[in-house]
């Protein structure tokens, strides 16, 4: 089976615009899967080569690269760094069945103690997780080209139909990666996707209402400002400040759009999110839960830090896993064991062979501290474009000196970051500048 999906486009050749598109279930599933991807995955994907080449999505790229360059001594374990640079998708098992899945994150591996308990022994036995499928086939939609065409002609006063053309194309994985980039950067994503040479010139300015959350957490930060232009040069904070910023990478794109009340300023992403809300769940989804999985995506299980939990009202995904052991020998050795998610076991007629399993948090320290990314009680420096690095006595001075700014033009301020500032930080990380 070819790894391509069909797409029908109606284009205006004079203006290089796509008027509308017709697609099947496979294409729409891939498009909606963008909203389930963690920001760390998106930051990694948009830097890969495609027809449009690597692109910058605000300060998200520099935040991601700073984690890649992070010294592992500031993290509890190698797993902590891996969880930030290759975060898991809470809908991983559903997205794995997509025909054009561009997420190159390795499937989650699970290991079990040979004694079937939490005794401290190395978990060396790998288990196979049986995936399930998210959607049923969506019924074919009646062609809407005529109504769209009539509306387009009324708005644009096109002289006849000579400039319009219907084009059928097959879309592959590389082109889906291009489409992701266009969705993040352009409010006319399909036009920039099809007309590759069309430059993306979008205005990143926006207004967003304040969104209040029930949290009193305050993070203390020292900011260094240039007096002459009031520009922040860098900020200094403790590990809670660094963890707050690094946690951005574990958040799903759709969750961020929800936090910003669909004023994210990210290209066509807001429209993509709103289009899901407009779909009738009984007609296009197997269940209400499947629609909610897209509108309210969760952080992957064990990927939500304490700061993330208090600052961002995005739930952590919780799946109960069960093991079956039809091939366990008399001596108790493990053979052909499989793991199943909770809904599969509930729907199974013969489930007496299934035993519930406890998942161990991979970032737990030997001292028992949970969900903390920063290992040392150190200070961290954050530049205006969200490069995060451990701070030293001379790091701030070196940065000011590198920018060729006089120390007389610099002042320090102590501030606190609350929920209102969280929204501004997130906007800074995502706006296409």
Q: Residue written as tokens 């830090």?
A: 305
pLDDT tens for the chain, 433 residues long, are 468 999 888 888 888 888 888 888 888 888 999 999 999 999 999 999 888 888 888 888 999 998 898 877 777 667 778 888 899 888 877 777 888 888 887 766 655 555 544 544 444 433 333 333 233 332 333 345 555 566 666 666 555 566 788 888 999 999 999 999 999 998 889 999 998 888 776 544 333 333 445 556 788 899 999 999 999 899 999 888 888 888 889 899 998 888 887 677 788 888 888 888 887 777 777 778 888 888 888 887 766 766 666 677 777 776 655 455 544 444 444 444 455 555 444 445 555 555 666 666 665 554 332 334 444 547 889 998 889 888 887 888 899 999 999 999 999 999 888 766 665 655 555 554 3
For residues 18 and 191, the answer to whether their CB atoms sit within 8 Å is yes
The string over 392-430, giving b where at least 16 C-beta atoms fall within 10 Å of a residue's C-beta and e elsewhere, is eeebbeebbeeeebeeeebeeeeeebebebbbebbbbbb
For residues 220 and 414, the answer to whether their CB atoms sit within 8 Å is yes
SS3 content of the chain, % helix, strand, coil (to 5): 35, 20, 45
Whole-number pLDDT of residue 146: 56
Token duo for residue 128: 């196979």
In DSSP terms, 165 is beta-bridged to 11
Q: How far apart are CA 304 and CA 308, in angstroms?
A: 6
Q: Spell out the SS3 assignment of 115-169.
A: CCCCCCCCCCEEEEECCCCCCCCCCCCCCCHHHHHHHHHHHHCCCCCCCEEEEEE
DSSP, res 263: -
For residues 130 and 339, the answer to whether their CB atoms sit within 8 Å is yes
For residues 225 and 49, the answer to whether their CB atoms sit within 8 Å is no
pTM: predicted TM-score of the whole model, two decimal places:
0.76
Mapping DSSP to helix (H, G, I), strand (E, B) and coil, where does residue 414 land? strand
Token duo for residue 111: 């290991």
Whole-number pLDDT of residue 426: 54
Residue 204 main-chain phi, psi, to 5 deg: -90, 0
Cα–Cα separations (whole angstroms), residue 135 to 90, 287, 290, 294: 16, 9, 7, 12
The set of residues, in sequence order, having a beta carbon less than 8 Å from that of 150 and lying 6+ positions away, is: none
- The CA-to-CA distance between both ends of the chain, in Å, stands at 40
Whole-number pLDDT of residue 248: 87
Q: Residue written as tokens 């961002």?
A: 312
| DSSP letters for 44-89 | HHTTS-STT-----TTHHHHHHHHHT--GGGBS-HHHHHHHHSPPB
């Amino acid at each position: 089976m070819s790894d391509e999906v069909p797409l029908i486009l109606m284009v205006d050749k004079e203006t290089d615009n796509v008027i509308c598109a017709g697609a099947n279930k496979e294409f729409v599933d891939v498009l909606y899967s963008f909203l389930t991807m963690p920001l760390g995955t998106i930051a990694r994907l948009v830097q890969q080569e495609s027809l449009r080449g690597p692109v910058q999505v605000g300060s998200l790229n520099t935040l991601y690269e700073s984690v890649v360059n992070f010294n592992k001594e500031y993290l509890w374990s190698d797993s902590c760094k891996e969880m930030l640079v290759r975060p898991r998708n809470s809908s991983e098992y559903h997205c794995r069945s997509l025909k054009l899945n561009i997420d190159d994150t390795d499937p989650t591996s699970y290991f079990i103690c040979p004694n079937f308990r939490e005794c401290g022994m190395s978990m060396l036995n790998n288990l196979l997780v049986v995936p399930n499928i998210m959607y049923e086939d969506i019924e074919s939609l009646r062609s809407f080209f005529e109504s769209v065409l009539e509306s387009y002609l009324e708005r644009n006063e096109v002289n006849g139909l000579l400039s319009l053309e219907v084009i059928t194309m097959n879309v592959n994985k590389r082109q889906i990666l291009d489409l992701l980039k266009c969705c993040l950067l352009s409010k006319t994503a399909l036009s920039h996707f099809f007309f590759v040479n069309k430059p993306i010139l979008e205005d990143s300015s926006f207004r967003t209402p304040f969104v209040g959350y029930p949290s009193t957490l305050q993070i203390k930060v020292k900011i260094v400002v240039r007096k002459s232009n009031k520009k922040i040069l860098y900020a200094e904070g403790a590990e809670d400040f660094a963890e707050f910023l690094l946690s951005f990478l574990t958040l799903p794109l759709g969750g961020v759009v929800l936090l910003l009340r669909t004023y994210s300023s990210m290209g066509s992403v807001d429209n993509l999110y709103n289009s899901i809300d407009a779909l009738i769940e009984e007609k296009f989804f197997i269940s209400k839960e499947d629609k909610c999985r897209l509108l309210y995506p969760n952080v992957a299980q064990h990927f939500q830090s304490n700061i993330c939990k208090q600052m961002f009202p995005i739930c952590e995904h919780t799946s109960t896993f069960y093991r079956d052991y039809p091939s366990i020998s008399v001596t108790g050795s493990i053979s052909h064991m499989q793991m199943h998610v909770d809904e599969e076991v509930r729907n199974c007629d013969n489930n007496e062979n299934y035993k519930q399993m406890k998942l161990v948090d991979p970032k737990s320290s030997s001292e028992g501290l949970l969900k903390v990314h920063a290992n040392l009680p150190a200070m961290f420096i954050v530049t205006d474009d969200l490069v995060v690095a451990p701070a030293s006595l001379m790091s701030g001075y070196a940065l000011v000196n590198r920018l060729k700014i006089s120390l007389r033009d610099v002042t320090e301020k102590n501030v606190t970051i609350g929920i209102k500032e969280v929204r501004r930080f997130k906007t800074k990380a995502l706006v296409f500048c």
